[in-house]
Amino acid sequence: MKKTAKDIDIVIDLLLEEHKKKMTKSQVVDSNDQVITALLFRAKELKEDLHGFNTTDIVKGTCLAIFAAATDTTTVTLTWALSLLVNNPLILTKAQQELENRVGRNTKVEESDLKDLVYLQAIIKEAMRLYPAAPLLVPHESTEECIVGGYTIPKGTRLLVNIWKIQHDPQIWTDLFEFQPERFLTSKKEIDVKGQQFELLPFGSGRRMCLGMSFGLEAVQFILASIIHGLELQNMSNDHTDMTESPGLTNHKATPLELLVAPRLLPHLYAVCLARPLPPLHLQHPLVCLSSTTASLPQAI
């Protein structure tokens, strides 16, 4: 973990140095470099108002949060959710039926529709429970000596919370390794992901919980809804998609997700209207290919 942190720090340092070299006081922020350049300009303007904090550290931390935490965890969550759905076609069909009832096949999904998609929300909660994008929360430190579960925790101890273990605790969850979104519509209906119920903590809890929770949750809901509403999905073979997890700070799927997809909505709802129907597409990684395959992509995605 320490070596990975150093490697990431070096990469971001190089990225910032590259942008600093291109910056002049009269330079207009280019759209391709807008985020990093704007951060550097703003940090320079606020240098005297940062209460002693190092401006470089603030910019580096912000870049890491934007480029690593937001994109990586969102992609991981969507990959697991899609894998679970194609392995459970009855649940996928039920989710698509909810979309047809709430949205219809004559229009694409809008952000305003998300609040009505309660089964989709349950699917995402269950995917986050089974396969949390970050199995270990950000490190915490004990401010004083305490006893937890019979163990003495000295003051100043670095603490890592294992939410994967919490979310697979047999004392809390029944059929804990089964994909059952319905649990969040019945026995676990009151549980959300906002850090107030400690049984489910995909974004952490307290003052150090994920700052991008609202954005990340809405992004996952919107993208997943758009994909399953706009595309028919199935495995490449009759075998189930392999659900092996890989070791790391982020809980990536060990093997690529391979799917056959085909459009399921009216042609005018897609980014490109075609003169003939699309054949099924072979996607090595749907989250990457879907974002670059405009011929088969609903405009909402």
Residue type, 15: L
Cα 71 from Cα 75, distance rounded (Å)? 6
Cα 78 from Cα 94, distance rounded (Å)? 18
Closest CA relative to residue 182, chosen from 284, 63, 94, 66: 94
Q: What angle do CA 73, 53, 203 make, to 5 degrees?
A: 20
3-state secondary structure of 195: coil
DSSP one-letter code for 283: E
Q: Which residues are annotated as a binding site for heme?
A: 210
Which residue has tokens 């390794």?
Answer: 177
Contact status, residue 199 vs residue 191, Cβ threshold 8 Å: yes
Q: Which residues are annotated as a binding site?
A: 210
Torsion angle in degrees (nearest 10) through CA of 187, 189, 194, 199: 0
